[in-house]
Amino acid sequence: MPDEKIQAILEAGRWAPSWANSQPWEFIVVKDVTTKREICDIAKSTLTGHKGIEGASVIVVICVNPEIDPYHFVEDGAVATQNMALAAHSLGLASYWIGIYDAQNIRGSVEDRIRKTLNLPRKHRAIAILPIGAPEYKIDRDRKWLREITHYDQYGNTRL
């Protein structure tokens, strides 16, 4: 994958909104085959959606520092992840979101194992894994109509 595309995806993450513009995120770009395999093995043993990691050209792990924003760091990391996934899609690439944040911060959790694999400082939290690569196939699914999911003034009122 060209570095220009990776940089564009990271740039989209950098521009994500965050509480009080705190920007508590950091991104780890994994290209090393051995490290990607290790991340894949962790995902295989604990997650159901690991298939796309194996063929990914690059994996981005979205991390945050809760000391910068102790109240909204999870949402901040999630928004950065979404921005990067959307940017990848806009570039014709495939990606999918693997949420790994463990609210209880338990030793041996997926997040903890990824944190150790990537040598993250203990205070940092890993929010998501974002494998990115060429799409293997395309799923055509219709989106719900806006009228099916929109309510006005209160739940159940579907008219303006």
pLDDT tens digits along 102-111? 999 889 999 9
* Domain-embedded: residue 118: yes
**Confidence at residue 135, expressed as pLDDT on a 0 to 100 scale:** 85
What pTM was computed for the model?
0.88
In the chain, alpha helices (H) = 3-14, 33-46, 51-54, 73-90, 110-117, 146-149
The model's pLDDT over 26-37, given as tens digits with 9 standing for 90+, comes to 999 999 999 999
* Domain-embedded: residue 68: yes
What radius of gyration, in Å, describes the C-alpha atoms of the chain? 17
The model's pLDDT over 65-91, given as tens digits with 9 standing for 90+, comes to 999 999 999 999 999 999 999 999 999
| CATH label of the domain that carries residue 138 | 3.40.109.10
The model's pLDDT over 34-57, given as tens digits with 9 standing for 90+, comes to 999 999 888 877 666 566 687 899
CA–CA distances in Å: residue 1 to residues 7, 20, 111: 11, 34, 26
Domain count, the chain: 1
**Confidence at residue 43, expressed as pLDDT on a 0 to 100 scale:** 81
* Domain-embedded: residue 155: no
- Measured in residues, the chain has a length of 160
* Domain-embedded: residue 158: no
* Domain-embedded: residue 143: yes
* Domain-embedded: residue 106: yes
* Domain-embedded: residue 157: no
> Which domain, by its residues, includes 37?
3-149
**Confidence at residue 85, expressed as pLDDT on a 0 to 100 scale:** 97
